[in-house]
Amino acid sequence: MILLLDLCFREGSLSFPEFVSPIRRIVEKSGGEAETIHYSDLDSLPTGISGIILCGTALKDNSYLEHPDRFCWLERSRIPVLGICAGMQVLARLLGGEVVRAPEIGMTEVKVTQKDVVLGDERIFPAYELHNFGVTLPPGCTELAGSGCCIQAFLSRERPWWGVMFHPEVRNEWVVERFVGVSLSGPAD
Amino acid sequence: MKLGVLCSGGKDSLYACGCAMREEEVACLISIRSANPESYMFHTPNVHLVPLQAEAAGLPLVEVETAGEKENELEDLERALECAVERYGIEGVVTGAILSVYQATRVQKICNSLDLWCFNPLWHTDQEKYMESLFTEGFRVIIAGVFAAPFDETWLGREITREVIDELRAISGKWRVSLTGEGGEFETLVLDAPFFRKRIRIYEAAPEYANHNGVIRVTRAELEDK
C-alpha cells in the first residue's frame, strides 16, 4: 500500500483532484494500491504502508509550511518517501535544509547529475514546474538533478527519502512508477 | 473563497465550474471572445453563447474581447481577471484544463502575477470517468466543432450520450484523438448543467464543414424552463 499525503490547504479542497488524484492514478496503474490522507489527519504511520508520497499543492498554497509539527512522525519511519514539490520542501525542512524563493512555472530542462534508482541515468529531460520556492540541499543529502533555477531532486544518504521539485504527474509519470517499484520491493512498515 | 471560472462554453470549463461550486463560492464566469479562429488559448465556435450559460447558471459574467494575437491575448486575459477581481472580489481562477501545458502554464503565470489562486480540477483526470460523469451528472453537451479525421459532418450537433462516448472511445483507440477532445480534435457546447436553473434551446444553427473541419454556429438560442 502506498500512502498519498495530501498537503493542500484543507481536506477535500478544490486542489485535491489536481495534485493528489493524478498521483493516485499513476500508483494504481503501476500495480500499487493507494490510500489518501490529508496531512492534518495523521499523527503516526498507518500499518501496512510500503511507501509514502507527499503530493504537491497549488502555487499559492504554502500552508503546509506553517505546520512542521504535523510531519514529525515521518522521521520515525524507514520506508521509502517521495516528496513532490511542496512535499520536497517538507522533506528538506525535516532534514535540516531551507525553503528559499526560486520561482519556475512551465516546462524546463532537468539535468540528472547523479545516477539513481528513481531518477535513472545522467541525462537531461523536460519537466513541468509549478513552484515559487525551492530548497537548499539538506545536510546528508545528495543532489541528483538540477535546473538553471534550483535543485530538482535530492536523495537522503541516511534514509530512502527522495525529493523532486518538478511535477512528475505531467509527462514524467515514470518517476512515480519507479518509486512505486522501489517501495513495493521492500518490506512494509 | 470567491472564484472566477474561465468559461469557453464547452464541457470542460462548465464541468470545472460545477466542481468549484461544490467546494467554494463561484462569483462569476469569465469569457474571452477571440477574433482569431487560430487562437491556441481561447477560440471556440460558440463562445457568444456564454452569456446565455451565465444567465442559466445565475452567475454574472465578465466578458473581454481579444484580437487573438498570440501573446497580446494573454494581456487581454489578464485584463479580464483584473476586472473580475475589481467587480466581484475573486481570489482565484478555475480552468477546465485537462492536459494542455501550454494553456495551463500561461494561466498559472498570470494568476501568479495577480496573486490569485489557480485551480484546475480536471488536470490529468481519468478521461473515461470524466466523460461518463458528464453524462451521469446531467450535463447536456453537443459536439459544436470537429477539427480532425475521422470526424465528418454527421458529428456536428450530436449530443454526447453513452453511445457517443462508446464511439469516441473506439475512435480514440484507432486514431490519434483524445477521448475528451483535449487536443483540439473536437469542441463542445453545454446546453444544460446540474447547476443551470434553465436550459438552452437552440432554434437556429448553421453547420459548416469541409475536410474533417467543421463547426455548427448557433445563430438563435434561448433559455427555457427545465
- CA–CA separation, A33 vs A27, rounded Å? 7
The stretches of chain A forming alpha helices (DSSP H) are 16-19, 21-29, 86-94, 173-185
pLDDT band at A188 (very low <50, low <70, confident <90, very high): low
Contacts of B48 (CB under 8 A, 6+ apart): B33, B218
pTM of whole model > 0.90? yes
Work out the average pLDDT over B144-173.
Answer: 91
- Residue B43: the pLDDT is 61
Q: Which residues on chain A are in Cβ contact (under 8 Å) with B26? A: none
Report pLDDT digits (tens) over A43-56: 888 889 999 999 99
What's the distance, Cα to Cα, between the start and end of chain B in Å? 29
Q: Are the Cβ atoms of B112 and A58 closer than 8 angstroms?
A: no
Max Cα-Cα span within chain A:
40
SS3 state at B198: strand
Beta strands in B35-135, from DSSP E residues, in sequence order = 61-66, 92-94, 117-119
Is B117 within 8 Å of A58 when comparing Cβ atoms? yes
C-alpha cell at A97: 535544509
Determine the pLDDT at residue A27: 97
Query: Can you tell me whether residue B177 is helix, strand or coil?
Result: coil
ipTM of the complex: 0.95
Closest to A47 in 3D by CA, of A3, A85, A89, A5: A3
Q: Half-sphere exposure of residue B201, counting CA atoms within 13 Å on the CB side? A: 7
B129 touches chain A (CB under 8 A): no
pLDDT by residue (tens digit) across B104-115?
999 999 999 999
From the list A106, A111, A104, A105, the residue with the least C-alpha distance to A149 is A104
Cell 489536481 belongs to: A18
pLDDT value of position A187: 66
Is residue A85 annotated as a catalytic residue, yes or no? yes
β-strands B140-146, B61-66: how paired?
A: unpaired
**CA dihedral over B45, B49, B51, B54, signed as positive or negative:** negative
CA distance B91 to B102: 23
Contact B208, B215 (CB under 8 A): yes
Subunit contact B119:A61, Cβ cutoff 8 A = no
- From the list B138, B90, B134, B124, the residue with the least C-alpha distance to A16 is B124
By Cβ distance, the residue of A15, A22, A169 closest to B119 is A15
Half-sphere exposure of A150 (CA within 13 A, CB side): 26
Q: Are A18 and B23 in contact (CB < 8 Å)?
A: no
The strand pair at A81-84 and A161-164 is best described as parallel
Q: Does the annotation mark A167 as catalytic?
A: yes
